[in-house]
Structure 1
């Protein structure tokens, strides 16, 4: 979906998606979620640059209390994903990631926005957050689950990624933002900019964000803290596999990307909510994004975006 400013397209999407999102958001009881005032104050404190956009979206959503609280993505219900991501530092720097998640809880939406004069392209979550994306300054970003059970006060990470792409132009700026914004769960966020600089931030609700120079992230942080999840998702094996390909084999760009479409990186655990829904490829210096599947590719450009759709068969 392409829309330069929040408008009728976004309002239509909200009307379509809100019933399902409301069921998820209120699954633990509406009273367990923060009040509108708490949500507004949290955004004002930590991401004030998003307030104008947030208020526009709330109005387009009908101005209701529950919709506004949901759209803040402040202290949402917990959720888990898998995912692998890595920076390939060849002639053209590339950020590659697999998104492993339930096909029944996926926006299925690529969003290109020009909000507040900043062009952003990426994979939607929460109807304005992103699980991966790129902006017109040549900054690319993606996330993986951090493999920890702890839930605390903070934002759902998709709105944090939106904030970074709306306000940052370099990896250094992104690292500063990721270090100060609270996340309600543990996530690993990898950032790559047009100057080849990259970091992976280990975010958590109960300890300071750790900024690392790691080019690889799967589903644990410095060490495995949730053994059952680590075994189920093979996070250590996937990390080792990626590190070996980057240090021992030195694949070509195409061979490296193709490895994400095969085991052990590619997951077929769709029935368990951890199947690979897509492989995303970001070339920040060129303003390009690709989605790949074992039998198809879909290319996007920041400066030449057309609304379209594809039918992808996901076994569930």
Structure 2
């Protein structure tokens, strides 16, 4: 068993100040050095970033996030291109990961599956003072989110589909952040997802405070929506984008589908994804498909749950109280994984 720790990052203020704050935390953190090491092994390490193009797109959709990137760059003494490579969400080396999502009219439960060697171990709670909604959820690439919820009750999670037929565009983590910070409802999120440029194929699962739920299938060339409460790692509409081998994705989908009718409460749904006995939680960490966290979002209650490892009780956070000025007393979230690697924050 590998013990893991996620830091809880809490901040209220402008995007630029939030960027400075995060940059100061990163100065003594191993996260950026670990990313450089992973990047050095990547076949895309010489990727050229069109700074002005990416900058203009980010500023169009969310000027505050550009200010956050600027704050990070200033704190870390980076030039714009280096900052965009690290924090711009226009490129990220994404492995062939798993992930499973189950939605109901009052919840979204999400298993984030990957290799811990890429996981930042940062659970971020942020309320901007210069525009945009307050958000809560784990970070990816510092500025992005793996999943999360905002103050309006919109919850979002995504599942990897395929990286073939990619194009210029944002990757999942920045897309998730843009949606959460700027959209109040499922309908608004769908509109943004149809306008954003997508680099590779992902499903985006959405639930809002009204109980509306929807799956958005997005590739570099097309974005469509479908109804449904279960999502793993294959498209049901844009099937031409699917990987050739989908056995693992189909097995997890069927495991959830078999037991979905017995769910009475959000905690029942959480256990279905978090308890390995139900065959959804995965220990395939070396194949980029082991479950790192199980997260739950309850939009109408403004609750966020998180657990690292299987068969664990979730930490339950009251986001409404936090938005009203009451900081979470927890600074670290601990867990255990049956994995070789730990998170890159330690």
Map 1:164-243 → 2, pairs under 5 A? 164-205=179-220, 207-222=221-236, 223=239, 225-228=242-245, 230-231=246-247, 234-243=248-257
How many residue pairs match? The answer is 308
Gaps in structure 2 of 5+ consecutive residues? 1-8, 323-327, 341-346
Q: Which moved more, 1:144-153 or 1:102-111?
A: 144-153
| CA gap 1:310/1:76 in 2 versus in 1, 3 angstroms | closer
TM-score (norm 2): 0.82
| CA gap 1:177/1:25 in 2 versus in 1, 3 angstroms | farther
Q: Which residue of structure 2 lines up, in the alignment, with residue 244 of structure 1?
A: 258
> With CA pairs under 8 Å and 6+ residues apart, which has the higher RCO, 1 or 2?
2
Query: Is residue 2:12 matched to residue 1:4?
Result: yes
Q: State how far apart, in whole Å, the 1-side matches of 2:59 and 2:312 are.
A: 44
| CA gap 1:250/1:289 in 2 versus in 1, 3 angstroms | closer
Q: Which residue of structure 2 lines up, in the alignment, with residue 288 of structure 1?
A: 303
Q: Which moved more, 1:25-34 or 1:168-177?
A: 25-34
Q: Which secondary structure state, in structure 1, belongs to the residue aligned with residue 228 of structure 2?
A: coil
Query: Is residue 2:155 matched to residue 1:134?
Result: no
Gaps in structure 1 of 5+ consecutive residues? none
How far the C-alpha of 1:307 sits from its partner, in A, is 4.4
| CA gap 1:277/1:69 in 2 versus in 1, 3 angstroms | closer
Q: Which has the higher strand share?
A: 2
How far the C-alpha of 1:123 sits from its partner, in A, is 0.8
User: Of 92, 96, 116, which residue of structure 2 is paired with 1:80?
Assistant: 96
How far the C-alpha of 1:8 sits from its partner, in A, is 5.2
Deviations 1:11-61 (A, max 9, x none): 133332222223334533554231322321332355445333333333233
Superposed structure 1 runs of 4+ greater than 4 Å apart: 45-49
| CA gap 1:35/1:19 in 2 versus in 1, 3 angstroms | farther
Q: Which residue of structure 1 lines up, in the alignment, with residue 5 of structure 2?
A: none
Q: State how far apart, in whole Å, the 2-side matches of 1:29 and 1:97 are.
A: 29
Q: Which secondary structure state, in structure 2, belongs to the residue aligned with residue 99 of structure 1?
A: strand
Q: State how far apart, in whole Å, the 2-side matches of 1:29 and 1:66 are.
A: 15
Alpha-carbon contact 2:162-2:200 (below 8 Å) kept: no
Map 1:91-170 → 2, pairs under 5 A? 93-115=106-128, 116-117=130-131, 118-147=133-162, 149-170=164-185
